Amino acid sequence: MLCALERSSANHASDADPAQCMDITTTTQSRWRWFGFARLAMERNTVSMIDINGRAPPSDLDAEASVLSTLLLEKSAIKKVRQILPEPSALYSPANKRILEGCYALVDEGKPVDITTVASWLRSREWLESVGGASYLVQIVDATPSVANVAAHARTVAEKWQLRKLIGTCQRIAAEGYGDVGEHNEFLNNAMTSIRGVCSSGEESTGRNIDAIMHDVYKDLMSDEPDDTEGIYTGIWALDRVNGPLRPGSVTTVLAYSSHGKSAFCACLVNFASQHGAGRARCSKCGDRPPCPWRKEYITNEPGPDVPVCEHCGGEVRGKKAGVLVFSGEMRDKDYGKRMVQIRSKVSLRDFKRGNVTPEERNAVIYAIEDIRQQKDALWIDDKTVDVIKLRSIVAQKRVEMAESDIELVAVVFDYAQRAKYGKGNFKGNRQQELAEVGRHLKGTALQENVAIILPAQLNEEARRRGLKPNAENVREAQDLVMDSDNTIVIYAPHRDASVDKDLSVHAHIRLPEPVQFRVGKGRDGQRGYVPGAFLPWITTFDTWRPSYGEYVLPEEQKEEKEHNKNWRR
């Protein structure tokens, strides 16, 4: 295999222009020692640069191979690499350029990326032998670097690419300077513009051309799914049907008065997302990506097939697991775990501890515990971190770890906003300014890590004492949080206040759902209004208001009805 590579290198070197060739023996032998290579199959350098004193342009072949190795083994890394290396020309080795071009092309076609598909793609274009054959791909894959470091390797490659572009630009300007430059100031301005353009291109690419954007728009609109193909649902059907999924890169602020269910709402979302997956599906046989069956079944409220199959090959369609991070500044991790079990089993754990449950309910609790334990790689709870700067690094780390287990990190819950800190407690400014920075930092984290962030925030108690309905204008200390949010959901639960006067010694065992309103104050589609819902206090969770719960009546409506009846009798 190695001899074949050497022969391939020798053939390419003999065909190349001597002024543009690299001495692969001296240049790469030390660089590829940890890969086990003696020589690397290389074609002539295609960058328009002149070697100075026999020195080759800047490059890092180790980093290039590390990036390619990761892409061939870990499909989740492609998106991150493409943000840093937007085009294959960023690589120095022409062989590596073609391999990277193949990886990107396969992703754009919706096909899996691995050594077999890339080799087939190269072979179809008669490029396989020119890159060193399938043996070169095998050698790259055999030298597997850490997936967690792929971004660092990609940035190294990008830096070398930028240096090569700068060198080439300066050489071009120097060559033009020896001739007739025309108008002096215009030449200098053009030279400065060219150099500035190269120097400012070192940042990761964040934009996309409109053709690629329209491709995604068309794909979403033509999909059989009744909603967007990305995002997570809250698990409250009536709200999800109206508001749609919470999209990656978005921040959703959940607002409510104290003890009105902010944490319960987030726990409901965490339970639903971890139980139902990321909303993406893939055929286990051909790799096709059909619409996710459970999303359509959930939103349309129509039963789907017991075992979804691919319409192309008949293989089983499997959903992708969803990862969720919870930063709980209010509850201990064990208490949050108990709430998850309670929601999943629909059994009061207080009754469970006291033995006031049926055998079926007891089994439901045990099953819920075992079911949640199976999600050990997908669900992670931190009850200590309140610094949002540290939070970003944790999210980035966990995203990579979950990707290694084929889990997609879809949501981050930070419970709750008024507990957050910006830095290690040394912020120079008042509390409102600090929370404004918290909101901006969380929005940046959502965009950078491509996750949906759910941020509960407490409303001002003064408005509550004045009898005002909750709204986004009454956020305690953190009005800027609402401005930086993509969605705001206000929980209006008036029965929570009335329940304080309930005699628990008499009514504790009564299971009565409490009517609530989910008020959509801000959403990406511009709709505002409310959705009726139910709070189930015995298991501390929310649900859609169902006919079995009785008549949906809020306390003020009952009061108005009593006043009407009183006036009518008069």
The mean per-residue pLDDT over the stretch 212-224 comes to 76
Of the ranges 25-39, 51-65, 345-359, the best mean pLDDT one: 345-359
pLDDT at 465 over 80: no
pLDDT value, residue 229: 58
Cα-based distances in Å from 335 to 210, 240, 364, 383, 443: 47, 27, 19, 10, 28
Range of lowest pLDDT (51-55, 281-285, 377-381, 543-547) = 51-55
The mean per-residue pLDDT over the stretch 340-350 comes to 92
Instruction: Single out the residue of 339, 242, 250 nearest to residue 542, CA to CA.
Output: 339
Q: What percent of the chain has pLDDT over 90?
A: 16
The most distant pair of C-alpha atoms in the chain lies apart, rounded to whole Å, by: 108
Nearest-Å Rg of the Cα atoms of the chain is 29
For residues 480 and 551, the model is more confident at: 551
Query: Which pLDDT band, with edges at 50, 70 and 90, does 258 fall under?
Result: confident
Q: What is the pLDDT of residues 132-170, one digit of tens each?
A: 888 888 888 776 666 668 888 888 999 999 899 889 889
pLDDT value, residue 18: 35
Q: How far apart are CA 458 and CA 447, in angstroms?
A: 24
Residue-averaged pLDDT of the chain: 78
pLDDT at 13 over 80: no
pLDDT at 491 over 80: yes
pLDDT value, residue 567: 52
For residues 11 and 566, the model is more confident at: 566
Residue pointed to by tokens 């001597």: 18
pLDDT value, residue 15: 39
Residue pointed to by tokens 């108005």: 560
pLDDT at 11 over 50: no
pLDDT at 467 over 70: yes
455 torsion bin: left (phi>0), alpha (psi -120 to 50), beta (else): beta
The mean per-residue pLDDT over the stretch 24-53 comes to 38
Give the strands of the sheet with 514-522, arranged side by side: 379-382, 321-328, 407-415, 452-458, 251-256, 487-492, 514-522, 529-536, 541-544
pLDDT value, residue 282: 67
Query: Which pLDDT band, with edges at 50, 70 and 90, does 47 fall under?
Result: very low
Q: What percent of the chain has pLDDT over 70?
A: 75
Q: How far apart are CA 547 and CA 356, in angstroms?
A: 27
Model's pTM, two decimal places? 0.62
CB atoms under 10 Å from CB of 450, counted, come to 17
Q: How far apart are CA 372 and CA 288, in angstroms?
A: 29
The residue type of 236 is I
pLDDT at 441 over 90: no
For residues 181 and 268, the model is more confident at: 268
The secondary element (H helix, E strand) that includes residue 396 is helix 388-404
Q: What is the pLDDT of residues 353-383, one digit of tens each?
A: 989 899 999 999 999 999 899 888 889 999 8
The secondary element (H helix, E strand) that includes residue 342 is helix 333-345
pLDDT value, residue 499: 61
For residues 107 and 5, the model is more confident at: 107
Q: What is the pLDDT of residues 511-552, one digit of tens each?
A: 889 999 999 887 766 677 889 999 998 999 999 999 898 888
pLDDT value, residue 344: 92
